């Protein structure tokens, strides 16, 4: 599977967000998209998904024949809202989303692998079985983040587009999710935005750095250098004992 971005220019509200962007991402593998707030990371993700039409350029996606007939991409948004009184449990939320991929009648059609698929996905993101029947409104921010990651993974799509999946998760949880994404990247193409690329470096093929209408694209060693980062992060990029650190937050 391969995603090719060709001379992509994107505007929002009359402002040019990305200009003449070119990149090729080939899976399986993990690709990070980083940059300061407002640099266009989420805009790029929404354009890849087809929610935003670019001014010029295009995005081509090549998939293997074995993936045809199934969901091509699965998306995890950076932010989301849930009705505060929604009477829906974790299990129901994931099962309902999975059923949306079924032909009609979606919610009365029986499929033998539904329980197995949903259960394995919830176990994959380490949501305790004791919480599967807990209502979403009672969950912490970190647990909600795991639920939305599970919703994305349950489709088993070959391409995962993940916008800040490590936000709102405690430090131990960030390590667990990073290791999970690393394992998944052995079989899938994963495109992920991040404010802190460090935890995923061991699994990262390339980094796309966005900011101020410009971009840099290359290997970890090519991008995570002070002379490159300082052009995008300005004074928020510092070098401590020859180790580059980005003083960024989210």
Question: pLDDT exceeding 70 applies to what percent of the chain?
Answer: 90
Q: Which of 11-25, 155-169, 235-249 has the lowest mean pLDDT?
A: 235-249
| Ordered structural domains, the chain, with CATH | 1-72+158-250 (3.40.50.300), 79-156 (no CATH)
The predicted model gives 48-77 an average pLDDT of 89
The predicted model gives 197-204 an average pLDDT of 93
At residue 241, the pLDDT reads 57
The predicted model gives 202-213 an average pLDDT of 93
Structure tokens at 162: 């993940």
Closest CA to 32 of 220, 188, 247, 248: 220
At residue 63, the pLDDT reads 83
Question: pLDDT exceeding 90 applies to what percent of the chain?
Answer: 58
At residue 245, the pLDDT reads 59
pLDDT at 14 over 60: yes
pLDDT band with cut points at 50, 70 and 90 for residue 29: very high
Cα separation, 109 vs 249, in Å, equals 45
Cα separation, 207 vs 31, in Å, equals 6
**Global pTM?**
0.89
pLDDT band with cut points at 50, 70 and 90 for residue 1: confident
Question: Coil, strand or helix: which one is 156?
Answer: coil
pLDDT band with cut points at 50, 70 and 90 for residue 83: low
At residue 217, the pLDDT reads 96
DSSP characters over 171-206: HHHHHHHHHHHHHHTTTSEEEEE-S-GGGGGGGEEE
At residue 21, the pLDDT reads 96
At residue 169, the pLDDT reads 86
Structure tokens at 87: 């009477």
Q: Determine phi and psi for 178, rounding to 5 degrees.
A: -60, -45
At residue 178, the pLDDT reads 93
Cα separation, 223 vs 102, in Å, equals 42
Q: Which of 119-123, 166-170, 219-223 has the lowest mean pLDDT?
A: 166-170
pLDDT at 97 over 70: yes
Please, which contacts does 62-71 make with residues 24 or more away whose CB atoms are closer than 8 Å? 62/1, 62/2, 62/3, 62/4, 63/1, 63/158, 63/159, 64/1, 64/158, 67/1, 67/158, 70/101, 70/155, 70/156, 70/157, 70/158, 71/101, 71/155, 71/156, 71/157
């Amino acid at each position: 599977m391969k995603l090719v971005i060709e001379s992509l220019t994107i505007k929002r509200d009359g402002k040019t967000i990305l200009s003449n962007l070119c990149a090729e991402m080939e899976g399986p593998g993990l690709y990070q998209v980083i940059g300061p707030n407002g640099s266009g990371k989420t805009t790029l993700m929404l354009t890849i998904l087809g929610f935003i039409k670019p001014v010029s350029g295009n995005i081509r996606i090549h998939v293997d024949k074995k993936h045809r007939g199934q969901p091509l991409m699965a998306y995890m948004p950076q932010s989301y809202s849930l009705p505060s009184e929604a009477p829906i449990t974790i299990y129901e939320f994931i099962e309902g989303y999975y059923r949306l991929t079924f032909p009609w009648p979606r919610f009365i059609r029986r499929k033998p692998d539904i329980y197995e698929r949903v259960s394995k996905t919830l176990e994959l993101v380490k949501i305790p079985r004791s919480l599967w029947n807990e209502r979403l409104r009672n969950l912490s921010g970190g647990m909600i983040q795991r639920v939305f990651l599970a919703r994305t993974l349950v489709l088993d799509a070959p391409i995962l587009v993940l916008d800040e999946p490590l936000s709102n998760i405690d430090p131990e949880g960030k390590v667990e999710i990073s290791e999970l994404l690393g394992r998944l990247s052995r079989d899938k193409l994963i495109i992920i935005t991040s404010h802190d690329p460090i935890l995923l470096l061991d699994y990262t093929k390339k980094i796309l750095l966005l900011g101020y209408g410009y971009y840099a694209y290359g290997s970890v060693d090519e991008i995570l250098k002070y002379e490159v980062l300082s052009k995008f992060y300005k004074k928020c990029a510092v070098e401590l004992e020859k180790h580059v650190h980005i003083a960024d937050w989210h």
